[in-house]
A and B are shown apart, each in its own frame.
Chain A
Amino acid sequence: MKKFLYTFTFIILLGILFTGAALAQDKLPTDDEVNKVAHNLYCPVCQNTPLDVCPTDACKDWREQIRGMLAEGKTEAQIQQYFVDQFGDRVLAAPPLSTKFNLIIYIIPPLIILAGAIILFRSLKEWTTPKAVEAGSGAARDASEASSQKDSYVTRFEEELKKQK
């Protein structure tokens, strides 16, 4: 709260100095504006929790810090950069490409999936014979399937009974 008040006083003072700017910023950024920025940042202490919903006191302070920075007219990108400088890449929702090493998180899954697709496609080709047999649609097949299945169930059932005797 204190920090908040200081910021507030600071802005008022600024406002007195630059009346024009003060007219545009006579109100503190709303919670929604703060949360919009905080949503794309991750809590540096608790794992995998976006800053806008993190209930810890530390996160409350960080949200107030964002409010202060927004009040100073900082952009979302600047605020993100500030948090990255302070706490490292982990505050970002995904590993940034500014670190070359992080490339592999984006490259490896598509490569594996592609390899899987190639293996699958080649196996399919190998299995597929060019002979084409005309077949009915699913339901028509099902109907014939069901009746023939029934017959074979009966015959097999009989056979099974005979065997058991």
Chain B
Amino acid sequence: MIAEFGYGIALVSFLVAVYSVVAAVYGATKKSASLVESSRRGMLLTFPLITIAAGSLIYLLVTNHFEVAFVYEVTSRSMPTYLKITAWWGGQAGSLLFWSWLLAAFASAVTIRKWDRDIEFLPWVVMVCSVTLVFFLGMVVFYENPFTRYWLVNGNVEPHMFQPALATIFTPQDGNGLNPLLRHPGMVIHPPMLYLGFVSYVIPYAFAMAALITGRTDDRWIRLTRRWSLWAWLFLSFGLVLGGRWAYDVLGWGGYWGWDPVEIAAFMPWLTGTAFLHSVMIQEKRGMLKHWNMILVILTYALVIFGTFLTRSGVLSSVHAFANSPIGPLFMAFVSATLIASIALVIYRWPQLRGETEMKSMLSREALFLLNNLLFMSVLVICFWGVMFPLVSELFTGQKVTVGPPFYERATAPIFAGLMFLMGVAPLSAWGHSTVKTLGRAMWKSALIALGVTVILFLTYTKNYIALIGFFLIALVILVTAQEFWRGARARQRSQNENFFSALSRLMGRNRRRYGGYIIHISMMLMAIGILGMEAFQTSTQGELAKGDALDISGYSVKYRELASWDDTGKGVNFTRATMDIYKNGIYLGQLHPRIDYYFDSQQNMTIPGNRSTIKDDLYIILVDWQPTTAMGATFKIFVNPLVNWLWVGSLLFLVGIIFAAWPDRDPAEEISRRGITQSANQPSAAD
């Protein structure tokens, strides 16, 4: 009953979304306000509808309705209730519904208030959101239906939505259970975060399209969606970091990022999104780069759809997997169609998108921002081509190839170094104009101190010259950025007669985006310390130990004390847990417990490392293998991951920075005066 009901509601919401598209387009072209209003209401209606459909699915998940194929695949009786709920996005069919639900929520949030001033955008924003929704709900309704049930037809079990002739329903005793890897708290939050980021990017795209279609190509659309793109970026970034942390905690290979196609699929929209965040500022300040911003937001949207599809479907494993997946070609068709239509619109409006001012110098801030965009796009090209090449190769030569971390690392490392250098230079450059001389004057002190730091590191810590270049750049960026805070606050202190700290906090409060951005720059550098530590200094050793034996690595001594293995039938898991004594330079530091959890329902292992984390390094132990009969010997792999904690510390600071930048302004007067500026935005004002 519930399954049919849920499916019915999903079908209705699909039809409502189709209606919204038609009504919006028709209403806009016939200039019928009532039709546009009707399309807006249709858009708003999809959210409660999809919520009901999702509610039905969650009800089925929680109440062990294993006759529903999706419920069978992702849950089992032994799973706790909260995991059964989060299993909603644990499989493809459910996550498509989840995606639709988020999109309906965001689109509703945007269209819930009446837009007086921007009413001309409304039908087109509704149209773009609804088209996307139609596509995703269409997937749910016609191809990846989470409500499909098992039926016994002539002795065979077959999945169908509706009862075939002479069939009876088939209910398995227990479900397959969620992939154990997905039961980790990190994995419970990571996909929704990524999806929040993905879906939020639909909104800026919708406004960009509305601006192109209506021909209102000033930067109004950018100002309206500024916070959306910041929050989208926040969620996407946070999703990526959580994914890394999850990999570090449960995948048991000692790292957090493996340049896997699925990871890259989520990383690519982040690249264009980051480039967009920067280049948008040029348009706001200088009225330039309108074409480019359009292209960036279009690319981000296309990559978001592409990424959604890749992260769940596993189609990249081979050409055949792609062709056999029912939704693969459809996704490709949708991405291509929207991409072509959007680019065609940009070309159609090309003359209206011309820049309003001239650029005065190759070293001006806008020129450096452009260089930043070029570098981000370069990383994107490498990532995209790296992900696609195995398919291309298989298609043309029949030969399967791997494009692994060494390829990406070698290709992107110099580009990341260039981005870091830009981070050090760009904050010092002025809008409109800078010269080598002014930049040099502003930079030389920081550069000198950074060089000093590098020399000290050379003498005391490492002789690895690539790492040293990295540390130099990190020190440079941190110093330059700190100097920016210092100089700004000092200038304000002098002119406003405030004490230093209130001057600093006022300064930051007035320029949230700028100083939030600087905090993000510093946090990126902290993260870079962690990444550099892992890339340049990670060491590992592996060995089979008898009880009482020890492995030595980088000053640590790891002694194998004992191993216990037991079943927890309530949870449906067998735990095998080793106890290790940790010594550093002969001093006892405590115990670590690497373990392997075996899940009976899904018959899968999960390797949980024992990890001792300090700001200097992580000692990360994996239980690789053991001899069950004797419980005598066991094999361990031990990593020492220097500085990796800085990555997590940096990501927390990153969150602080971006929330600071995206937080709504408290002062309504300032908000109104901003709007005032927006109205005269056609001319770059004297204030800029």
- Residues of A at the B interface (CB closer than 8 Å) are 30-32, 35, 42, 47-50, 53, 55, 60, 88-95, 99, 101-102, 104-105, 108-109, 112-113, 116-117, 120, 123-124, 127-129, 131-133, 135-143, 145-149, 152-154, 156-157, 159-161
Contact = CB atoms under 8 A, between A and B. Distances in A.
B177 interface: no
Contacts of A156: 673, 676-677, 680
A99 to B, nearest CB: 6
A47 B317 contact: yes
Interface string B645-688: 00000000000000000000000011011111100100001111
A135 B254 contact: no
Contact of A35 (B430, B433, B488, B540): B540
A97 to B, nearest CB: 11
A131 B360 contact: yes
Contact of A138 (B393, B399, B427, B688): B427
B571 interface: no
The 4 closest A-B CB pairs, nearest first, are A156-B676, A139-B487, A127-B359, A143-B491
B360 A88 contact: no
B332 to A, nearest CB: 20
Nearest to B408: A94
Interface string B388-423: 011011001101111111110001000000000000
A128 B359 CA distance: 5
Contact of B361 (A47, A50, A132, A149): A132
A139 B360 contact: no
B252 A53 contact: yes
Contacts of A95: 389, 393, 401-403
B549 interface: no
Chain B, interface size: which category?
35 or more
Interface of B: 252-254, 258-261, 288, 316-317, 355, 358-362, 367, 370-371, 374, 377-378, 381-382, 385-386, 389-390, 392-393, 396-397, 399-407, 411, 427-435, 438, 441-442, 484, 487-488, 491-492, 495, 507, 510-511, 540-544, 605, 607, 624-625, 635, 637, 669-670, 672-677, 680, 685-688
Contacts of B510: 146
B676 A157 contact: yes
Contacts, number: 197
A94 B672 contact: no
Given A55-B252, A142-B488, A153-B673, A94 B404 contact: yes
Contacts of B543: 30-32
B378 to A, nearest CB: 4
Nearest to B385: A109
B569 to A, nearest CB: 24
B403 A94 contact: yes
A120 B371 contact: yes
Contacts of B392: 104
Q: Is the interface of A mostly helix, strand, loop or mixed?
A: helix
10 contacts: A31-B543, A42-B402, A50-B404, A60-B625, A104-B392, A109-B382, A127-B358, A136-B430, A146-B492, A148-B686
Contacts of B673: 153-154, 156-157, 160
B676 A90 contact: no
Contact of B676 (A93, A109, A160): A160
B491 A139 contact: yes
A139 B484 contact: yes
Contacts of B607: 55
B258 A143 contact: no
Contacts of A35: 540, 542, 637
Contacts of B355: 127
Given A90-B402, A113-B381, A137 B430 contact: yes
Given A94-B402, A128-B361, A148 B687 contact: yes
Contacts of A116: 374, 377-378, 381
A112 to B, nearest CB: 5
